Structure 1
Amino acid sequence: MSDPILRIAAKGDGLTESGRHVAGAVPGDTVDAAGTITPGPHHIDPPCRHFPQCGGCELQQADDEVLAQFVGERVAFAAESQGLEPGVLSPPHLSPPHTRRRASLHAQRAGAKVVIGFREGGSHRIIDMAECHVLHPALFALVDPLRRLLGHWQGRLAADIQLTLVDQGVAAEIRGIVPDGLAQTEALLDFARDNGLARLSIDEGFGAEPVWEPQPATVTLGGVPVDFPHGAFLQPTQDGEAALLSAAREWTAGAGTIADLFSGLGTFAFVLAGSAKVLAAEADRAAHLACQAAARSNGKAVHSLHRDLFRDPLTAQEISKFDCILLDPPRAGARNQIDMIAQSSASRVVYISCNPQSWARDARRLADAGFRLAELRPVGQFRWSTHVELASLFLR
């Protein structure tokens, strides 16, 4: 007897009514006692030849209807797990293929050739990338040139490569290689010039140092070019960023003063600093300084504050001075800062999260303090992945 697959579980397996987990199955499929999957109407042929070995994607066998269902359910179930029911649960937003503007690839020598790509799921083995349906074309276009560059590198090779699309092109950072002599240094410069890189940096174990940067690398946020420090956080897709910014603009409308907590480079701050004055609080010093300099040089009503909100959150008294609080913390959430918000007189909180589980814990604390979850918007920026994001509005 075959069991129907009802939904996709948190780690990407298909789930039956009896609680059976089936790898590679999607809603509408059926699975027999031996584990054989009979594809249903939502089971499609994966677009990439590397699926499912490549760990960059987990759900390429699912059509867009099922992907949206998965993203929406992950967020809705997180709220439900803490007894929270949103006033409005918006339809999920999915970023399209070929839009990922930042990625970490890995490279190593395998015999006579160099392999570059993502690692296989649950393994250190690198899948040698011949195509990719999530990366922005500008990032993928560098894979073959990088393979040729590193193919001439002498000795053992095990490198990590960070690629980020910025205003001037692609900023590339390579960790795990050390230029030895003039010839290798010139090879790096030729690679950067021939491929039109915005910046090429080498990290020899003491932090990234640029070897090529014709002009300062920037990212434009809210119409403001902001210097892009090494390792700075950027939303993975411009499409997903736009969806999150749309929610933030809508929910902060009418606020004269806004506290943007865990602000990074100012992704939200510069967009919201129109009719409002914005405090942008960030622990990373490089991001703080980049935000501060951009605000000053562009005359934006953004005050950048260097502050570790995990160890030293804004106090309830400080929070109470603002009309609206926006926060976008790392995956661990913002337990200490949420406690201060709960104890304050704040009445409007916009919470952006990349981790429904930690968000749900923090949301429960806000609910216990008298906030209601007015709206919840699921966002799937990491297409074909189990990684889900969200935007939420709390009012009291």
Structure 2
Amino acid sequence: MPDTLSPIVRIAARGDGVTEDGRHVPLAAPGDLLSESGVLTRGPHHRDPPCRHFPSCGGCQLQQLDDESYSAFVHDRVAGVIAGQGLSAPVRAPILSPPRSRRRATLHAERRGRQVLLGFTEGSSHRLIDLAECHVLLPELFAMLAPLRGLLAAVLTERGRVDVHLARVDQGVDVLIGGKLADGLPAVEGITRFAERHGLARLSVDDGFGAEARWEPEPVTITLGGVAVPFPAGSFLQATADGEAALVAAVREGVGDARLIADLFAGLGTFALALPGKIYAGEAAREPILALKAAAARAGRPVFAEHRDLFRRPLTAAELDRFDAIVIDPPRAGAREQAQQLANAKTSRIVYVSCNPSSFARDAKLLCEGGYRLDWVQPVGQFTWSTHVELAAAFSRPDSLR
């Protein structure tokens, strides 16, 4: 008697395919068929992964999906968690970043005898994948991997393992090596010569006491909202330029014609410098908020930047009521304490930017229970072929509840 075939109907949050009866299947795509004996037959949405390192490399989880099914995954990931909290709102078509557009990444390096491995780790493992190709990084970032292996072969200690942070900034490629390197004048001089020879914007080392620039021929900046902002080594930056543009456009739409806006968890000012009117920017990380403050002052932008821990000291409802609109972009854990204050505020509009749909949905429920309406959600997929999904969502408070 032939096996019964069960179709893969969706992709779960962690990337497994799921059948109608709830069986999870790694590396499946919607439309694949799973037999009772566990044999997977490819369907029309299953494609050959473009990268030789897939599926071992933890940088990607979904290269087996075609564009249509990957877009559906991003959409459904957002729609599912919203529905799971008992909320409803239009979920727009996802905006996806193309391959080879990632402008920041954290890689890892370690010595294996005379060889230095440099790349991402395997999924759920500390084992390194030594990248021979990468279909997500900007080409100029990937081009630095081979030279960096040579540098690290000279300066990495015998049992050392370091993080390598890469970012595309206004001046070129910024490199931050986090970890213990060899001491001594030859190592120090070798790092400087390397950075100069390869035309780096900056090369910094953080051996546990903060990042120290070993090479920085001119101050490193990142342009946000038309303003060149000093870029502290290792700072947060939206993963792709087009992903940033999509989120900025959604935030601008959500705040509308508001003239007094609070930008919470403002970072370097991705949104604060792109918004109209007067802006309050709150951020707990000291270096980014000082960089934003200096850049806004030089550019004559009406931004008041405050160094403030919004987890321990969120803006109160009374403080929030001063603003026409609020933008909030918290870390992955969300912002439960700040969301509780927002739920009690009378501000007309809130735009919530999130890199974690689950924590967003939790906070969105708090806002809706406080009288806000979830108007729309825009999913954004900056991390191509990853299960990592971002979004921007607009909330409004009906006139009768203001």
TM-score range for the pair, normalised by the shorter chain length = over 0.9
- Aligned positions of 1:32-47 closer than 5 A: 32-47=35-50
Matched, 1:111 2:110: no
Measure, in 1, the Cα distance between the counterparts of 2:207 and 2:365: 44
- Aligned positions of 1:168-207 closer than 5 A: 168-207=171-210
Larger deviation, residues 31-40 vs 132-141: 31-40
State the partner residue of 1:121.
123
State the partner residue of 2:329.
328
- Aligned positions of 1:270-289 closer than 5 A: 270-272=273-275, 274=276, 276-289=277-290
Measure, in 1, the Cα distance between the counterparts of 2:12 and 2:369: 28
State the partner residue of 1:4.
7
State the partner residue of 2:28.
25
Match for 1:48 among 43, 47, 51? 51
Residues 256-295 of structure 1, C-alpha deviation per residue, up to 9 Å, x if partnerless?
10000000000000000x3x11111111111110010001
The letter for the 2-side match of 1:81 is G
Measure, in 2, the Cα distance between the counterparts of 1:127 and 1:39: 27
State the partner residue of 1:82.
85
Matched position secondary structure for 1:105: strand
Matched position secondary structure for 1:152: helix
State the partner residue of 1:391.
392
- Aligned positions of 1:219-258 closer than 5 A: 219-258=222-261
Q: CA deviation at 1:111?
A: 2.7
Measure, in 2, the Cα distance between the counterparts of 1:156 and 1:72: 43
Matched position secondary structure for 2:108: strand
Q: Structure 1, unaligned stretches of length 5 or more?
A: none
Measure, in 1, the Cα distance between the counterparts of 2:243 and 2:331: 17
The letter for the 1-side match of 2:137 is L
Q: CA deviation at 1:112?
A: 2.6
Q: CA deviation at 1:351?
A: 0.4
Q: CA deviation at 1:206?
A: 1.2
The letter for the 1-side match of 2:307 is H
Measure, in 2, the Cα distance between the counterparts of 1:204 and 1:394: 43
Matched position secondary structure for 1:89: coil
Q: CA deviation at 1:357?
A: 0.6
State the partner residue of 2:400.
none
Residues 305-362 of structure 1, C-alpha deviation per residue, up to 9 Å, x if partnerless?
1111111011111100100011000011111111111111112110000011110111
Matched, 1:91 2:93: yes
The letter for the 2-side match of 1:129 is L
Q: CA deviation at 1:196?
A: 1.0
Q: CA deviation at 1:134?
A: 0.5
The letter for the 2-side match of 1:314 is L
Q: CA deviation at 1:204?
A: 1.5
Matched position secondary structure for 2:175: strand
Q: CA deviation at 1:155?
A: 2.8
Q: CA deviation at 1:21?
A: 0.1
Match for 2:132 among 130, 133, 154? 130
Matched position secondary structure for 2:71: helix
Measure, in 1, the Cα distance between the counterparts of 2:258 and 2:128: 49
The letter for the 1-side match of 2:107 is L
State the partner residue of 1:359.
360
Question: Among the aligned pairs, what percent are the same residue?
Answer: 58
Measure, in 1, the Cα distance between the counterparts of 2:381 and 2:268: 22
The TM-score with structure 1 as length reference comes to 0.98
State the partner residue of 2:313.
312
Larger deviation, residues 170-179 vs 309-318: 170-179
The TM-score with structure 2 as length reference comes to 0.96
State the partner residue of 1:145.
147
Q: CA deviation at 1:176?
A: 2.2
The letter for the 2-side match of 1:46 is P
- Aligned positions of 1:374-385 closer than 5 A: 374-385=375-386
Residues 205-256 of structure 1, C-alpha deviation per residue, up to 9 Å, x if partnerless?
2111110001111000000000011232111111111100011111212101
Measure, in 1, the Cα distance between the counterparts of 2:187 and 2:73: 47
Q: Structure 2, unaligned stretches of length 5 or more?
A: 398-402
Measure, in 1, the Cα distance between the counterparts of 2:87 and 2:372: 11
The letter for the 2-side match of 1:20 is R
The letter for the 2-side match of 1:324 is A
The letter for the 1-side match of 2:254 is W
Matched position secondary structure for 1:99: coil
Residues 34-75 of structure 1, C-alpha deviation per residue, up to 9 Å, x if partnerless?
222111111000000000010110000001101100000010
Measure, in 2, the Cα distance between the counterparts of 1:282 and 1:134: 29
State the partner residue of 1:340.
341
The letter for the 2-side match of 1:193 is E
Larger deviation, residues 176-185 vs 307-316: 176-185
Q: CA deviation at 1:182?
A: 1.8
The letter for the 1-side match of 2:288 is A
Match for 1:157 among 142, 155, 160? 160
The letter for the 1-side match of 2:329 is D
